[in-house]
Amino acid sequence: MASTAKRATRKGAKKQPNISIVETAAPKTYTNADLVARRDAAVPRGVASAAPGVYAARAENAELWDVEGNRYIDFVGGIGVLNTGHRHASVIAAAKAQEDLFTHTSFQVVPYAPYIELAERLNALAPGDSPKKTLLVTTGAEAVENAVKIARAATGRPGVIAFTGSYHGRTLLTLGLTGKVTPYKKNVGPFPADVFRAPFPSLRDGITVEDALTGLKNLFLTDAQPDRVAAIIIEPVLGEGGYIPVPTEMMVALREICDQHGILLIADEVQAGFGRTGTWFAIEHTGVEPDLITVAKSMAGGYPLAGVIGRSEVMDAMDPGGLGGTYGGNPVACAAALAAIDALEQEELLERSTAMGDKLKARFAEIGARAAPFRMWDIRGIGAMVAVEFVTDFESGAPDAALTKRLIAHALERGLLLLSCGMHSNAVRVMVPLTAEDEIIDEGLAIFEEALKAAVADGVL
């Protein structure tokens, strides 16, 4: 098992022991252990971290250094926020330029151009020919809440249908939509009424598209009166649920069902959007135009910003004052988002996402054959939104969350940040910045293989 000292001196490592961070007038030196103890005393235990003993000091593109100077390759990207990498030069420059003008007025008090400019860009990028409008907010959960609110106002109906394995946020409404109990929904119900759950097609569980659609139609017969359903919300690629793409035939059928019953289709693109799948929005791979799209994460290159893009007549359903929020569409974040969108276009990062995804899938297949024969059950995803699922053996296909957990721990010890996903927490997802250099990705994959070998060996002991 690699020690901290060995990890810090890996090829390309830039050792900077005890980095000083200025808190007040005088600099202060931290260690990871100091901050662990202070966190335990100051922060609720419900706020979990995938790397609890690592405290960030600085980051650049796809690399991160902690407060003790240890270097890490970042395959997590702030949970899919950094498609343009840590501190993309044009994103930082745009944000700083806006900071020199003003940082906040609240768009509901004194509006400003960056909000309008970003709304125009998003309206133009959204799939489909219908005219669009955009609401800007701060978080992905806030975007989902507003999408549901808009759908209810536009249809005059209360019901919302979500899917098994979905993740839509941690507020009470979005938890009602989220399709996984532990850790998100445990002990915090009851959840809002008029939220219904339909089956998601899953090869693992033997649920075909036909089965899933039959389940939805049965839901209409048993619990969700279709003329009282405002919206169906779906992630075009499940995020927390395991990076499972929605089959095209499923999405096409959902569009037809929504049109038949006057229901609005919401595409939750919070994690899959802005180039992660090789297109601006993952739903573009199916050719379906949704009525509403929720966006966040990589839209602003690391700054907190989210939104709802939708058909103009739907977005205008709310009366003046019904939408908004004090910080929604912060001008600094809007400036950063405009620069991040420019970077995705000018650096051809959507095309790079597709090429990167092909490379990752091929390399993972090779690594699995060498390091974990008959344990890598599936390698899946679209573009660079890739996940690898682990099982105890191919014969049973039983999910192996323990192996996945050991892999992530060994990777962290060796200087690679990874994150799990899936209903059984037995998959590792890759969200490496699309701007990452090839040699950094190769180094990360080499660490992945070392960590996987160690994780498998631990399970044999």
Do 387 and 372 belong to one domain?
Answer: yes
CATH of the domain at 366: 3.90.1150.10
pLDDT the model gives residue 204: 83
- Which tens digits make up the pLDDT trace of 342-381? 999 999 999 999 999 999 999 999 999 999 999 999 999 9
In a domain, 81, yes or no: no
- Which tens digits make up the pLDDT trace of 350-359? 999 999 999 9
- 3-state class (DSSP) for residue 115: helix
Burial classification of residue 131, based on how many CB atoms lie within 10 Å of its CB (0-12 exposed, 13-18 middle, 19 or more buried): exposed
Residue 17 has pLDDT above 70, yes or no: no
- Which tens digits make up the pLDDT trace of 139-178? 999 999 999 999 999 999 999 999 999 999 999 999 999 9
CB 375 within 8 A of CB 393: yes
Q: Which of 15-19, 181-185, 222-226, 447-451 has the lowest mean pLDDT?
A: 15-19
Do 307 and 387 belong to one domain?
Answer: no
Residue 63 has pLDDT above 80, yes or no: yes
What is the DSSP-derived secondary structure letter of residue 291?
S
What is the DSSP-derived secondary structure letter of residue 299?
G
pLDDT the model gives residue 3: 40
Do 282 and 354 belong to one domain?
Answer: no
Instruction: Give the list of residues 6+ apart from residue 285 with CB closer than 8 angstroms, or none.
Output: 236, 245, 248, 277, 279, 382
Residue 461 has pLDDT above 80, yes or no: no
Burial classification of residue 204, based on how many CB atoms lie within 10 Å of its CB (0-12 exposed, 13-18 middle, 19 or more buried): middle
pLDDT the model gives residue 205: 86
- Cα–Cα distance measured from residue 194 to residue 352, given in angstroms and rounded to the nearest whole number: 42
Average pLDDT over residues 216-233: 98
| Maximum pairwise Cα distance, the chain | 67
- Which tens digits make up the pLDDT trace of 88-111? 999 999 999 999 999 999 999 999
Q: Which of 346, 367, 402 is the last residue of a domain?
A: 346
CB 283 within 8 A of CB 292: no
Do 340 and 354 belong to one domain?
Answer: no
Do 265 and 373 belong to one domain?
Answer: no
Instruction: Give the list of residues 6+ apart from residue 52 with CB closer than 8 angstroms, or none.
Output: 36
pLDDT the model gives residue 16: 47
In a domain, 86, yes or no: no
In a domain, 129, yes or no: yes
| 388 alpha-carbon distance from chain centroid | 16
Do 304 and 341 belong to one domain?
Answer: yes
What does pTM read for this prediction? 0.93
Q: Which domain holds residue 222?
A: 91-346
In a domain, 82, yes or no: no
CATH of the domain at 303: 3.40.640.10
- Cα–Cα distance measured from residue 4 to residue 51, given in angstroms and rounded to the nearest whole number: 14
What is the C-alpha end-to-end distance of the chain, expressed in Å? 14
Q: Which two tokens stand for residue 320?
A: 């003046």
CB 91 within 8 A of CB 340: yes
Quickly tell me which residue has 């998959």 as its tokens: 427
- Which tens digits make up the pLDDT trace of 33-43? 999 999 999 99
Kindly indicate the confidence band of residue 459, based on its pLDDT and cuts at 50, 70 and 90: confident
Quickly tell me which residue has 């100077």 as its tokens: 69
In a domain, 438, yes or no: yes
Do 335 and 204 belong to one domain?
Answer: yes
Q: Which of 298, 327, 346 is the last residue of a domain?
A: 346
Do 425 and 277 belong to one domain?
Answer: no
Q: What's the number of domains the chain is made of? A: 2
Do 118 and 191 belong to one domain?
Answer: yes
Cα dihedral sign, 324-327-328-329: positive
The per-residue DSSP string of 407-438 comes to HHHHHHHHTEE-EEESTTS-EEEE---TT--H
Q: Which two tokens stand for residue 47?
A: 């706020």
Residue 423 has pLDDT above 90, yes or no: yes
Q: Which two tokens stand for residue 199?
A: 């089956």
- Return the number of other C-beta atoms located less than 10 Å from residue 194's C-beta: 16
Kindly indicate the confidence band of residue 26, based on its pLDDT and cuts at 50, 70 and 90: low
Do 57 and 114 belong to one domain?
Answer: no
- Tell me which residue of 410, 452, 451, 447 sits closest to 432, measured CA to CA: 447
- Cα–Cα distance measured from residue 12 to residue 9, given in angstroms and rounded to the nearest whole number: 8
pLDDT the model gives residue 27: 60
Q: Which two tokens stand for residue 14?
A: 């830039």
Do 48 and 153 belong to one domain?
Answer: no
Q: Which of 309, 325, 346 is the last residue of a domain?
A: 346
Tell me the residue length of the chain. Answer: 461
Do 63 and 180 belong to one domain?
Answer: no
Average pLDDT over residues 329-345: 98
pLDDT the model gives residue 438: 97
CB 388 within 8 A of CB 368: yes
Residue 265 has pLDDT above 70, yes or no: yes
pLDDT the model gives residue 194: 96
Average pLDDT over residues 39-48: 95
Share the mean pLDDT of the chain. Answer: 93
